[in-house]
């Protein structure tokens, strides 16, 4: 198949290189990724500046296209300008750090997959539960299998798969769970500082995690050694609240 591979950690990240080699065994893979790290940019797109695209070599050979933009920009420009025909499936990752619970809202990795789904393309976001992973072998083995299944079975319109992999070698993974997006979130703190010109600024520092202990949630599956696969959709409507608001007499 013809695949588009992107991420939010940047085109020189280890995770995207690992997926490129794993997927290139059976597929025609085009890499279009941010020039620099774009973690936590969410679904931002560039409107007030030009999008500049440069070719990138890794290990002495052509690797892909680096975009001075966001992960969502990468998907848009790849589908519109850089790939003809369009990709059959879009894969985003491997992201360093899990994207579970409310992280999904902030994640550039997930937003790239969501953008692909908006454009009508099957897509998969993949993250590992560590910023210093012991091994990427589990994701490297699992994602090609999932890509094949997604191509065979298809995904509902507008749906992408958010995959989170435990920070474990492949042989220690307990299995795969189909999960819901959980409610895990962070309580954040800011360090108030003064710069040399006596101006106040703030730096995001410590975070504590409010865990979700529902066994059906993405974070719970991940914490217990399972790969989590969550189908997500860009429709943020709360349908129970929709019905309730209709009774407000607005």
Q: What's the pTM?
A: 0.93
So what's the pLDDT on residue 204?
87
In a domain, 247, yes or no: no
Task: Tell me which DSSP letter residue 80 carries.
Answer: I
33-52 pLDDT per residue, tens? 999 999 989 999 999 999 99
Per residue in 90-114, pLDDT tens?
999 999 999 999 999 999 999 999 9
Pairing of strands 89-96, 61-67: unpaired
Residue 198 lies in a domain: no
The DSSP element (H or E) to which 72 belongs, if any, is helix 71-77
Strand order in the sheet with 28-34: 53-58, 61-67, 28-34, 2-6, 89-96, 123-128, 159-165, 226-233, 175-178
The reply to whether 195 falls in a domain is no
Per DSSP (E only), the strands in the chain are: 2-6, 28-34, 53-58, 61-67, 89-96, 123-128, 159-165, 175-178, 185-194, 200-210, 226-233
In-domain check, residue 207? no
Domain containing residue 20: 2-182+213-235
| Per-residue model confidence (pLDDT) at position 206 | 64
Per the structure, the count of domains in the chain is 1
Residue 13 lies inside a defined structural domain of this protein? yes
Residue 242 included in any domain:
no
Share of the chain above pLDDT 70, in %: 99
The pLDDT score that the predictor gives to residue 134 is 86
Q: Kindly state whether residue 248 falls inside one of the protein's structural domains.
A: no
The percent of residues above 90 in pLDDT, for the chain, comes to 89
Q: Evaluate the CA torsion angle 169, 175, 176, 181 in order and state its sign.
A: negative
Count how many Cα atoms sit within 13 Å of the Cα of residue 241 in the half-sphere of its side chain: 3
Burial of residue 248, with CB atoms counted within 10 A of its CB: 0-12 exposed, 13-18 middle, 19 or more buried: exposed
Q: What angle do CA 138, 117, 167 make, to 5 degrees?
A: 20
Query: Is 131 within the bounds of a domain?
Result: yes
**Residues found in the chain:** 250
CATH number of residue 33's parent domain: 3.40.1210.10
Q: What are the C-alpha distances in Å from 7 to residues 193, 202, 232, 236, 242?
A: 32, 28, 18, 23, 34
Q: What gap in Å lies between CA 248 and CA 46, rounded to an integer?
A: 38
**Using 50, 70 and 90 to split pLDDT, how confident is the model at 239?**
very high
Report whether 78 contacts 49 (CB < 8 A). Answer: no
Q: Which pLDDT score, from 0 to 100, does residue 208 have?
A: 61
Q: Rounded mean pLDDT of 106-131? A: 97
Rounded distance, CA 214 to CA 221, Å? 9
Residue 172 DSSP label: G
Q: How confident is the model at residue 3 (pLDDT cuts 50, 70, 90)?
A: very high
Condensed to tens digits (0 to 9), the pLDDT of residues 169-197 reads 999 999 999 999 998 888 888 999 999 99
């Amino acid at each position: 198949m013809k695949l588009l591979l992107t991420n939010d950690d940047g085109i020189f990240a280890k995770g995207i290189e690992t997926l490129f080699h794993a997927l290139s065994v059976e597929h025609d893979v085009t890499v279009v990724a941010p020039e620099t790290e774009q973690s936590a940019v969410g679904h931002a797109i560039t409107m007030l500046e030009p999008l500049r695209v440069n070719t990138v070599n890794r290990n002495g050979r052509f690797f892909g296209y680096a975009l001075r933009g966001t992960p969502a920009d990468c998907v848009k420009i790849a589908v519109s300008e850089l790939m003809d025909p369009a990709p059959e499936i879009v894969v985003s990752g491997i992201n360093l750090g899990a994207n579970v619970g409310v992280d999904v809202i902030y994640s550039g990795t997930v937003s790239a997959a969501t953008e692909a789904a908006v454009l009508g393309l099957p897509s998969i976001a993949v993250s590992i539960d560590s910023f210093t992973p012991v091994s990427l072998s589990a994701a490297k083995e699992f994602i090609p299998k999932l890509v094949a299944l997604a191509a065979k079975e298809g995904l509902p319109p507008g749906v992408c798969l958010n995959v989170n992999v435990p920070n474990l070698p492949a042989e220690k993974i307990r299995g795969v769970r189909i999960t819901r997006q959980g409610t895990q979130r962070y309580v954040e703190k800011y360090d108030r500082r003064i710069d040399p010109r006596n101006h106040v600024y703030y730096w995001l520092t410590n975070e504590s995690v409010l865990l979700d202990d529902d066994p059906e949630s993405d974070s719970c599956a991940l914490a217990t050694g399972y790969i989590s696969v969550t189908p997500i959709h860009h429709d943020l409507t709360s349908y129970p609240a929709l019905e309730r608001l209709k009774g407000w007499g607005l």
